Amino acid sequence: MVKTGGHIGGMARRSMREEIVEAALAQFHERGFNAAAVKDITDRAGVPKGSFYNHFESKEALAIVALERYGNGGRLTELADSSVEPVARIRAHFEGMRDDMISSGITRGCLLGNFGAEIVDHSEPIRAGVRAGLERWSGLLAGAIAEGQEAGGIPRELNADQTARYLLSAWEGTLIQARAFKSAEPFESFFGITFGSLFKG
């Protein structure tokens, strides 16, 4: 459970809580759940370690909030932007994430995928958080695919929900390969198959 409300020393807890969440998101993304100690997170946030437990009962509770924050990131909202043609919208979504990955030196990957590989077998709350994030992502992607089918840019015989889940699986695998080889080449295969074959209307 996440603790909220109140003030400490005249500082709103919400402000300190936000600092902790942002620092945790960065630490979890860079180092993983197990390697990111509470002290690492509070040091990065610039707050006393003791203040952590005024806001979160555990690192696990903080990880769930960090997952929600990650899942509500701007890259997902792009998929719901009906002002952009569906196929172009989907492509821009994945291109943006690819560019983020390359700019980071091909490190970190996707927090949902990272937690999915590292911790979901050992934490039911985090497993549920990863599942919720993947379901939201898949749902937005399926909606864009369905719009593309209506517009004629994506073959109608494809099942939108299944195709969305397949793309997420292919994308997570692409990230693993890119990190393992320290190369952007796996992205070429993903984009070539997805937009050169699968979505070739």
Same domain, 99 and 185: yes
* pLDDT recorded at residue 13: 45
Q: What percent of the chain clears pLDDT 70, i.e. is strictly above it?
A: 92
> How far, in Å, are 21, 26, 53, 107 from residue 40 at the CA level?
12, 11, 14, 19
Q: What percent of the chain clears pLDDT 90, i.e. is strictly above it?
A: 85
Domain assignment of residue 1, yes or no: no
Question: Which residue range forms the structural domain that includes residue 105?
Answer: 72-198
Domain assignment of residue 21, yes or no: yes
- Residues with Cβ within 8 Å of 150's Cβ and at least 6 positions away in sequence, in order, are none
* pLDDT recorded at residue 119: 93
Q: How far apart are CA 31 and CA 55, in angstroms?
A: 22
* pLDDT recorded at residue 74: 65
Same domain, 151 and 56: no
Q: Is the pLDDT of residue 92 over 80?
A: yes
pLDDT digits (tens, 9 = 90+) for 42-62: 999 999 999 999 999 999 999
Same domain, 16 and 51: yes
Domain assignment of residue 153, yes or no: yes
**pLDDT, averaged across the chain:** 90
Q: How far apart are CA 171 and CA 191, in angstroms?
A: 10
Q: Is the pLDDT of residue 8 over 80?
A: no
CB 90 within 8 A of CB 143: no
Number of domains forming the structure of the chain: 2
Tokens of 13: 């807890």
Same domain, 47 and 118: no
Q: How far apart are CA 68 and CA 125, in angstroms?
A: 12
| Final residue belonging to a domain, choices 69, 90, 105 | 69
CATH, residue 131: 1.10.357.10
Same domain, 82 and 61: no
CATH, residue 43: 1.10.10.60
Q: How far apart are CA 59 and CA 83, in angstroms?
A: 40
Q: How far apart are CA 54 and CA 43, in angstroms?
A: 16
Domain assignment of residue 137, yes or no: yes
Q: Average the pLDDT over each of 45-49, 70-74, 97-101, 170-174 and give the range with the smallest value.
A: 70-74
Query: What mean pLDDT comes out for the span 60-65?
Result: 96
Domain assignment of residue 2, yes or no: no
